[in-house]
Chains A and B, each alone.
Chain A
Amino acid sequence: MSKKFLFLSTALLAVILLSGCASGSVRGNTWPGLSATNDVAYLADGPFVYAVNLKDGTELWRYPDQRSNKYLFYTTPYLTSNGLVIVGSSGSSFSLIALNPASIDATTKSPTVAWSFSDVHDHWVAPPLELDGRLFAPNSDGNLYVVDLKNGQLVKSIELGTDLWAQPVSDGKNVYISALDHSMIAVNKDNYQVLWHEDLGGAITSPPMLADGNLYVGSFASNLEKFDPASGNHQPVEKTNAWVWGTPSLVNDNLYFGDLSGNLYSYNLKEGKYNWNPTTIKPDNWDPINNKEKDESKETAITASPVPMNDNLLVATESGAIYQVDPNGQSVLWGGKEQQPGGQIYTTPVIAGDLVLVSPMNSGAFLYAYDLNGTKKWSFQPAK
């Protein structure tokens, strides 16, 4: 009996170790997707998509109503012009689902599904882009799917390469999309022809920023790259100290972005150079509360895009802290030490009305709401 118990315990331990450590698996954990209107926050976090009332942080609904292996959500919920919430699943069902929050099922208390598109081969990481009644939806299988917004019918499938993990952007004429396979690609939004397809020498995880008529994007080649949208001609405009994950943010002719070593960059579009020495502005290397250097061994990557707030920026880092950075690069811990959410922040914070929403991983709550001064208003932890 004791040997049976020993064996079963060992087997159970093996299962726990194997499944618990499956960080690279599609079922594994990754950071949530967050978006909001002025009234409701939408959070895609593992098995559920939550709608949270911004007034008090209460749950309005979740989808699906029951946990299922079919669904695993972490794409940023995308809000369409006709009121749908689009989410992509990475569970056993690779579905792009259009939820209708205006129609709540009386039994499940979840929004009804307006349509679902699942004729794809891999999981969804990036949200789609709405353009002229169509959704341009990038999938990890390397295809950009053009779907009719009204009914979810496939309009066109455009094979672009592999692993499309970034939301497309558009200048009204073309769609620009980056890929993990080092590519930046331009597609005509009407005839779906690939206009150009350029290699950057490193994976690109985020959408480019359209600024001063050019496209700017960081990559794992440790460059800030500038593209001419018409021709695809490109050149690295500045080096970075480490890989760049998030999209640059634009504030007053300056692009702000972070890298995986925790450095914060400010690139002046008019002068074509950095505003400060990038190695000197590393918010997490300085502990403003105790006025001392921080523990260097602590991971301090900046994957989230800096969030413009008035003339300043909010910079969220992997150490679970949010910094307010002024145009000169001076940073303070936003709201003070007691207000920090902790955990690890990888998701870009969202400003919704007079609230700033932050969704860390491995923190006490799924979602925190702050006022614009950095004072915590409420937190959201879903009921089981």
Chain B
Amino acid sequence: MWNIFISVFTSILLWIYNVLGQGPNMFGIAIILFTILIRLVTWPLNAQQMKGAAAMQSLQNDKEWQDIQKKYAKDKEKLAQEQMRVYREKGINPFGSCLPTLIQFPIIIALYQSITRALATTPYGLLQLSRTASPFNLINISSMIPLNSKFLWMNLGLPEGIPLPFQISFFPYGFPLLAIIVAITTYIQAKLTMPPTTNPGDQSAAMSNMMSLYMPLLLGWLALTFPSGLAVYFITSNLLGIFQYAMQGKANWRNLLPGGSKQPQVQAPKKTK
């Protein structure tokens, strides 16, 4: 089942590459277009996630909720009952922020796998590619192999690095420009989506803060280690995420400044019917 999922993704990716003409730079452009396509398909899920996250975050700053937390600090069962009541009253879906993420997770993994499978840099990879694309007859894969993996200064099948006049053992492929851009754009996206908070004990804000530090390092490391086609996907996805937040007016640009996440208390959303 999973293999079919990957096959469909790889076929679409190769079909885009084929439509573009299979020349130099075209596989990089195909990755970008495919990422845009996936982002468009998952746009409603992202929007729902953003809405859910904002609602949950606002709740943390809500006076009534903070009082309830203090009041029932030693009675977990009662606190849970009150929490559900507050959710109901304010129209908050407790799974509104995490469920869309969970649904997107396999899509992201499949997209990544389809990119690496299409690049087929080893004999076994090429054998897998031969099986991936042929059942769907979207494209004539035999005429497309090998894919032209050149994109700008990169070979998309190899980790990216700009050659340096000297050798740094930690960066064997050269200066990792793309990995740095991946880390920066991931950091910006994470920061922009962090709602302001006034509650010093806000666990979810602490989580967001932690994620905004760890995720750039994690994705930067992946971009440093894996074929640069993956880094192109990360950057495109991050930029589109930032664009989506900005389009919906959710981007919190103040967060990019030192101390910018501390804002006056904001109101929890009113119940919508």
Contact = CB atoms under 8 A, between A and B. Distances in A.
Interface of A: 3-4, 7, 11, 14-15, 17-19, 21-31, 69-70, 74, 90, 92-93, 121-123, 125, 140, 162-163, 165, 180-181, 201-203, 205, 220-222, 243, 245, 260, 299, 301, 303, 346, 361
A301 B134 CA distance: 15
B259 interface: no
A4 B119 contact: no
Contact of B116 (A25, A90, A165, A201): A25
Nearest to B150: A162
Nearest to B157: A26
A18 B226 contact: yes
B146 A23 contact: no
B124 A346 contact: yes
Contacts of B158: 26, 122-123
> Which of A25, A69, A221: most chain B CB closer than 10 A?
A25
Contacts of A202: 142-143, 145
B81 interface: no
Contacts of B210: 4, 7
Q: Report which residue of B210, B222, B226 has the largest number of chain A beta carbons within 10 angstroms of its beta carbon.
A: B226
B123 A31 contact: yes
Interface stretch (B35-43, B68-76, B85-93, B125-133): B125-133
Contacts of B203: 3
A180 B145 contact: yes
A18 B122 contact: no
A220 B145 contact: yes
A74 B122 contact: yes
B127 A26 contact: no
A299 B125 CA distance: 15
A4 B207 contact: yes
Given A4-B207, A4-B210, A23 B124 contact: yes
Q: By DSSP majority rule, is chain A's interface helix, strand, loop, or mixed?
A: loop
B136 interface: no
B145 A123 contact: no
B83 interface: no
A162 B172 CA distance: 23
Nearest to A361: B124
Interface of B: 105, 109, 112-113, 115-131, 142-143, 145-146, 148, 155, 157-159, 172-173, 203-204, 207, 210-211, 214-215, 218, 222, 225-227
B142 A220 contact: yes
Contacts of B145: 180, 202-203, 220
A303 B127 contact: yes
B134 to A, nearest CB: 9
A222 B145 CA distance: 13
Instruction: Kindly name the residue among A4, A14, A299 whose own CB sees the greatest number of chain B CB atoms within 10 A.
Output: A14
Interface centre among A15, A92, A181, A201 (most CB of B within 10 A): A92
Given A202-B143, A205-B126, A7 B214 contact: yes
Nearest to A4: B210
B122 A125 contact: yes
Given A22-B116, A125-B123, 10 more contacts: A23-B122, A24-B119, A30-B123, A31-B123, A74-B122, A163-B146, A180-B126, A202-B145, A205-B123, A243-B130
A21 B123 contact: no
A4 B105 CA distance: 19
A-B pairs with lowest CB-CB distance, top 6: A24-B116, A92-B172, A30-B124, A30-B122, A24-B125, A180-B146
Given A11-B214, A70-B172, A17 B143 contact: no
Contacts of A74: 122-123
Nearest to A121: B155
A260 B130 contact: yes
B207 A7 contact: yes
A11 B218 contact: yes
Contacts of A299: 131
Contacts of B146: 162-163, 180-181, 203
